[in-house]
Amino acid sequence: MRIAMGADHGGVGLKDDLAEQLRGQGHEVLDLGTNGSDSVDYPDFAHQVAQAILDDRADRGILVCGTGQGMAMAANKVPGVRAGVVSDTFSARMIAEHNDARILCLGARVVGPSLASAIVASYLGASFEGGRHATRVDMIKAIET
Ligand code: RB5
């Protein structure tokens, strides 16, 4: 799978660890930064990852900041891209199966590295179920317009 990744200074360490794991699993990672510990603004990275999905440069996105919340708020401002903040494996699967979320947001100050890896595996292993869920996702899209 092609996965776009982004983080701010609060999430860069976890983003880098997850990127290495995903590459080791055979995924194609598009790392859109940040790549250092300097303080940066999370909306820039949320926007870049969302745009990579809209441009079909990635199938899914993973955004990491301190809480995941700011990343999700910013990514969800981009029409056509749904992002969810997740701290458990069940919700990780559900945002893919029911909400067709193209972006997973993680809080590096909320979840530890092992749980984060399990969340990512659950998210990437799940697919949108369509059907009644498609109707509801279409309703979200209608709100955007
Ligand atoms: C940065 O200190 C922090 O605000 C950011 O990583 C994130 O938690 C915002 O939602």
Is residue 44 very low, low, confident or very high in pLDDT (cuts 50, 70, 90)? very high
Q: For ligand 1, atom 3, name the residue with the nearest CA.
A: 66
Nearest ligand 1 atom to alpha carbon 73: 10
% of the chain residues with pLDDT over 90? 99
Nearest ligand 1 atom to alpha carbon 109: 8
Q: What is the pLDDT of residue 95?
A: 98
Q: Separation of 1 CA from ligand 1 center, angstroms?
A: 27
Q: Separation of 41 CA from ligand 1 center, angstroms?
A: 8
| HEC profile of 21-42 | HHHHCCCEEEECCCCCCCCCCH
d(CA 99, CA 127): 10
| Separation of CA 78 from chain center | 13
Q: What is the pLDDT of residue 130?
A: 96
Give 83's DSSP letter.
E
Instruction: Report, as residue numbers or ranges, the catalytic residues.
Output: 65, 98
Nearest ligand 1 atom to alpha carbon 8: 6
**Contact call for residues 82 and 26 (beta carbons, < 8 A):** no
**Starting from the edge strand earliest in sequence, which strands make up the sheet with 2-7, in order?**
28-31, 2-7, 60-65, 103-107, 83-85
Whether this prediction's pTM lies above 0.95 is answered by: yes
Q: What is the pLDDT of residue 80?
A: 93
d(CA 56, CA 109): 30
**Contact call for residues 126 and 92 (beta carbons, < 8 A):** yes
Pocket of ligand 1 (CB under 6 A): 8, 10, 42, 65-67, 69-70
Q: Separation of 43 CA from ligand 1 center, angstroms?
A: 10
